[in-house]
Amino acid sequence: MGFCFRQFLTSSLKCYESGKSHFFSHSPLFSLSVFRYFCSKSAANCNSHEKIKLGLGNIRGLDDAICLYETMARMRPLPCVEQFNQLLSRVVKLKEDSAAICLFKDICNLGISVDEYTMNIAIDSCCLSNRVNYGFSILGLFFKRGCVPDVVTFSSLLKGLFRENKINEAQELFRKMVREGLCKLNVVTYGIVIDGLCKAGNTAMAIELLRVMEKGSCKPNIQIYSTVIDGLCKDGMIDSALKLFAEMTEKGITPDVVTYNILVCGLCNLSRWREVKLLLKEMIDCKIHPDVVTFNTIIDALCKEGLVDEAEDVLHLMMERDVVPDVVSYNALIDGYCLQGHMTKARNLFDSMARKNIAPDIWTFNALINGYCKKMKIDDAIHLFSWNAP
C-alpha cells in the first residue's frame, strides 16, 4: 500500500543510467497500473487547475515535481498537455534530465496527446543525458503523430551528436537540414555547429561556416565570434584570433568580457605580456571591467612562468578593483609557490583563505601535499592529507 511513483522513478533512473532500459521497449518499468490501483480518488475537478498552478510555483526539487506529477496523474479528467509541459520544463530546469525522460514516457502511457513542445523537451533531455539515439526515437514520434519538427528539434539533436563526439553524424545532419530545408536555421543552430566544430579541433571549417553566416541573412553574434576566436587561440593561432577580433569590431559588434578573456588567455599562454597589458588597457577604455576570470588567467600564467611575486601583485590589484578572489585565484598562487619550493609562503596563503571565508578544494590540498613531498617534508604532507581525508 506504500507504493508511490517516486520509488518507481528511482528504480527507473537506475535502470536507465545503467543502459538497461530501452526507451520505447515494452517494459514493466513504466507501468504504473499498480500505483494507480492504490491511489485515492482524484481531487475535485474545480480545484485541479489551481492546485497545479500552485504546485508548479512550489517546486524546489525533484521530489516536489514527482509529488505534483502523482497528483496530476490521479486527476479525472486528466490535466491538459500544456500543464504537463510546464511540469516537464520545471524538471529540466532542475537539471534532472533522466527524470524528465522517465516522466515523458509515462505521460505518453497516460494517454496524453503530447505535442511538439513536449517532444522537444524530451529530445533535449535525451541529448543532455548523452542518449541522442533516444532523441532520434522521439523524432520518429513527430511523424507518427503528424507533427512537424522545427529548428528547436534539430538543434537539440545536433547538440546531442556533438556532445557524444559524433562529429560526422552531426555534420551530415546539418548538411541535410540545409540541403532539404528541414527548418529555418537560426543563430542558435549555427552556434551549436560552430561550437561543436571548434571543440572537435576543426576550427577551419568553423571559420568557413562563419563566413557563410556573414554573407547570409542570419548574421553571427558576439557569442559565435567568441567561439571561433577561442578555437583559434586553443590552436595556438593567436594572430588569426586577433585579426578576427579586429574584423568583428569593424563590423560594429561590441566585444564583451568573455571575448577579451579568451584573448587574454591566448596571449598569456604565449607569454606575450606587452600585448596582454595593451588588451587590458583597451578593456578599461571601453568600460569593460576585468572580472575574476581575467585576473585568474593572468595569475595562473605568471605562476607557471615562476613569476609568483608578480602574480601576488595582480591578486592585490584585483582586490583593489573590488574583484573578489576565489579558490581558483589562491590555488594558482599556492601552486606557484609550491613549484618554487616556497612552502612557508604557500602555507601562509593557505591559512589566509580561512580568514577570507574561501574554502580550499581538492586542488589546493593536492598542490600543498605535492610541494611538501618534493621538499621531503613527509610529516607535513601526511598531516595535511589526514586533515583533508573524509
**Residue 350 covered by a domain:** yes
Asked if pLDDT for residue 1 goes beyond 80, the answer is no
Task: Using the 3D structure, point to which of 290, 321, 355 is the last residue of a domain.
Answer: 290
Residue 371's pLDDT is what? 92
322-345 pLDDT, tens digit per residue, is 999 999 999 999 999 999 999 999
Name the residue range of residue 169's domain: 68-184
Residue 354's pLDDT is what? 85
**Residue 41 covered by a domain:** no
164-189 pLDDT, tens digit per residue, is 999 999 999 999 999 998 999 999 99
Does residue 177 share a domain with residue 72? yes
> What residue type is 59 in one-letter code?
I
- 123 CB contacts (<8 Å, ≥6 apart)? 135, 138, 139, 153, 156, 157, 160
CB 297 within 8 A of CB 264: yes
The count of structural domains within the chain is 3
Residue 36's pLDDT is what? 37
DSSP secondary structure, 228-247, as one string: HHHHHHHTT-HHHHHHHHHH
Does residue 239 share a domain with residue 198? yes
**Residue 212 covered by a domain:** yes
Residue 388's pLDDT is what? 59
**Residue 39 covered by a domain:** no
Does residue 194 share a domain with residue 177? no
Does residue 195 share a domain with residue 178? no
143-154 pLDDT, tens digit per residue, is 888 889 999 999
Read off the C-alpha cell for 276: 596582454
Asked if pLDDT for residue 21 goes beyond 50, the answer is no
Task: Using the 3D structure, point to which of 159, 184, 209 is the last residue of a domain.
Answer: 184
| CATH of residue 252 | 1.25.40.10
Does residue 151 share a domain with residue 254? no
Q: What is the CA radius of gyration of the chain?
A: 27
Does residue 199 share a domain with residue 165? no
